[in-house]
Amino acid sequence: MRQNLAGVIDSELVLRVQAAGDHAAYGELVRRHQGALRAFLWRLAGNAAVADDLAQDALIKGYDGIASFRGQATFRSWLFAIAYRGFLRGRRKAVRYARALNASADAAAPPPGVDPDTALDLQRLLLTLRVEERAALLLCDACGLSHSEAAAAMALPLGTLKTYVQRARGKMRVALETPEDIPCRIA
């Protein structure tokens, strides 16, 4: 018999997983957060297949390490921190590998259901940002994390995170020729 966990808050689901290894509770956490996690990683990495692999890895590491979750941040920001660190590790490996082979990166492919032209334009623009700026912007604007949560996820001081977000928004405005009074939010 399947439990209805839709109305249970994240912190209660985490406690159920920590206390009893409740797979259904963790499945509900995955259901709630995997879409936003995959979208963040796709925009960050620029490759849907890489994003899917990173998301799967983060979700597995989240389950394996949930005993270490202390509730000082939201589950969502904790999970995004795991994913961001995984992205950085993978990026360092890819850079070393590409240098060794003198190879180039794969072209980005938009996720299903997204207009390919718009997605590729946005992705190209995002990829012009420094990786820290791109991650900060995506965590705050696309994933809905607060500045504090994003700073914790990226292991940065709050002021540094805010600087990255502002720089990224400024670069996006210039590139899109968007007037200053219109906020630049990525959905």
Q: What are phi and psi of 116, to 5 degrees?
A: -60, -40
Element (H, E) at 181: none
Distance between CA 187 and CA 80 in Å, rounded? 17
Banded model confidence at residue 1, pLDDT cuts 50, 70, 90: very low
Domain count, the chain: 1
Mean pLDDT of the chain: 84
- Structural domain contains residue 164: yes
Kindly tell me if the per-residue pLDDT of 186 is higher than 80.
no
Identify the burial level of 144 via C-beta atoms within 10 angstroms of its C-beta, where 0-12 means exposed, 13-18 middle and 19 or more buried.
Answer: exposed
pLDDT of 68 reads 93
Show the tokens assigned to 162. 């805010």
- Structural domain contains residue 5: no
Kindly tell me if the per-residue pLDDT of 183 is higher than 70.
no
Alpha helices, DSSP H only, in the chain?
10-20, 23-45, 48-64, 75-101, 116-126, 131-137, 147-154, 158-176
- Structural domain contains residue 89: yes
pLDDT of 4 reads 82
Task: Write b or e for each residue in 62-80: b if 16 or more Cβ atoms lie within 10 A of its Cβ, otherwise e.
Answer: beeebeebeeebbbbbbbb
pLDDT of 109 reads 52
Residue type, 89: R
- Structural domain contains residue 3: no
Mean local confidence (pLDDT), 101-106:
45
CATH of the domain at 29: 1.10.1740.10
- Structural domain contains residue 1: no
Residue type, 75: F
pLDDT of 176 reads 78
Domain that holds residue 107: 10-176
- Structural domain contains residue 181: no
Mean local confidence (pLDDT), 24-48:
94
- Structural domain contains residue 88: yes
Mean local confidence (pLDDT), 2-31:
91
Q: What are phi and psi of 39, to 5 degrees?
A: -65, -45
- Structural domain contains residue 170: yes
Kindly tell me if the per-residue pLDDT of 78 is higher than 80.
yes
Kindly tell me if the per-residue pLDDT of 145 is higher than 70.
yes
The larger pLDDT score, comparing residue 118 to residue 133, is at 133
pTM over 0.95: no
